[in-house]
Amino acid sequence: MQQLYSRQNIIAQRYRILNVLGQGGMGRTYKAEDLKTGQIVAIKSLSLYQISDWKTLDLFKREAQTIAQLNHPAIPKYLAYFQVDTVETRDFYLVQQLAPGKSLAELVEMGWKPKEATVKRLAIEVLKILVYLQQFTPAIIHRDIKPQNIILSKNGEVFLVDFGTVSDTYRHTVTGGSTIVGTFGYMAPEQYRGQAVLSTDLYGLGATLLFLLTGQSPADFPQHQLKIKFRSNVQISPDFADWLERILDPAIAYRFANAKDALSVLQGKQKLRQNIGQLFYQSPQQRIALLKTPHRLILEIKPIGRQRDRFRLLRRLTRIIKPILPLLLWDMIGLLLVNSIAVPSFYGELYKTIRLNNHPDVIFLTTLYNWVLTGCVVFLILGILFLIIYGLIGLFSIASFLIKATSRTWIELTPNRFQIKRWMLGLCY
């Protein structure tokens, strides 16, 4: 077994033990004094005798490597990593700055009951830390956000500690044997499957906030389909309750994608976009859909006109006009040329005949020409009007298609009210 150091014991001829801070599956953590610098530090230790497989040691080393690359005021800084050989075993040590203050779990046990404003402030501070961690490539996922790992100082500073389960798919179990990592009640559902994504830490944060608001473990709340039912147990604003419910959603797709989005909504920089919800009913023609979310029903009504009917009138006109359209266009071009070139020339010759030769058929020819000219002009005007009408119908059909293709109508029903929303060309009213 690993040696249990007591007060005044010295490790590596440098660190004097002051007391034990904690003990878990990844070893013990001591509060110690650095005899060279006089600094109070935290020392996490692991013994070869203590581990059941080499993966535990790999995780311990990975924690040291992860902390060594971090530089954030809310994360205790890495100071040293070393090993000590004895006759019986080999012990490994990770030295960090000691986060001043007490854990949130200790504070609640001492009777602390924070208000909503305080809980929101703590959430914002932790989210800032998570935003920093998620900026790395690959992103760093803590995987064990819980009240015991968040330290609050007397000055209100927040610290995140214990990175022993970070950045690996193989995890030490809370029960001592599988690939699951975390603390029961604070673990996102995907962690039971050995998975972790950016929003996994958000779930742990939400469970921690719920503990602060109620003093109860999230595991003690009633659940429905893995979703924690907490609203009747807390007295908080609806907006904060909606936000908390979002990060506690058991489905990854319904949570915020990352800490940055969750922080932006909590700070009021962007609105909480409602989840579309689960499809509850859809009509055979798929024109009406009924969706449900935990607190509302959404009736989605799609455009009544079917896709194939939107250009029906335009297609019918096209079938009629298509055979004669080339001839119509050719006649119109011919008429324009005749009216612009031939007609003035004809009138000139007619004038000469009347004046010089006194032609007997001049009245008949003039009348005939006027009738022909009138018919050509009427035909030309009708052709132009027809093209204008045809073009307007085409533009109307295209505009109708664009409006219907980009429009949707929602009727949202809640226990207290209903609201009709319609989107058209990206605008909602």
Strand pairing of 418-424 and 408-413? antiparallel
Other Cβ atoms closer than 10 A to 411: 15
Reduced to 3 states (helix: H, G, I; strand: E, B; else coil), residue 83 is strand
Query: Which residues lie below 8 Å from residue 141, measured CB to CB, with a gap of 6+?
Result: 133, 134, 166, 167, 196, 197, 198, 200, 201
d(CA 293, CA 410): 14
CA distance 121 to 112: 15
Q: Is 298 helix (H, G, I), strand (E, B) or coil?
A: strand
Q: How far apart (Å, rounded) are the C-alpha atoms in residues 9 and 215?
A: 37
Distance of alpha carbon 108 from alpha carbon 152, whole angstroms: 12
Residue 138: asked if its preceding bond is cis (omega within 30°), the reply is yes
Judge whether 39 and 33 are in contact, CB under 8 Å.
yes
- The side-by-side arrangement of strands in the sheet containing 296-301 is 278-282, 288-293, 296-301, 408-413, 418-424, 427-428
290 with 299: CB under 8 angstroms? yes
Active site positions, annotated? 144
| Token pair of 40 as six digits | 């109070």
Type and span of the H or E element at 209:
helix 200-214
Backbone angles phi, psi at 280, to 5 degrees: -100, -40
Q: Among positive and negative, which fits the CA dihedral 85, 88, 92, 95?
A: negative
DSSP states of 376-402 = HHHHHHHHHHHHHHHHHHHHHHHHHHH
Tokens of 6: 């007591």
Helix, strand, coil distribution of the chain in percent, nearest 5: 40, 20, 35
The three-point CA angle 190-266-226 to 5° equals 25
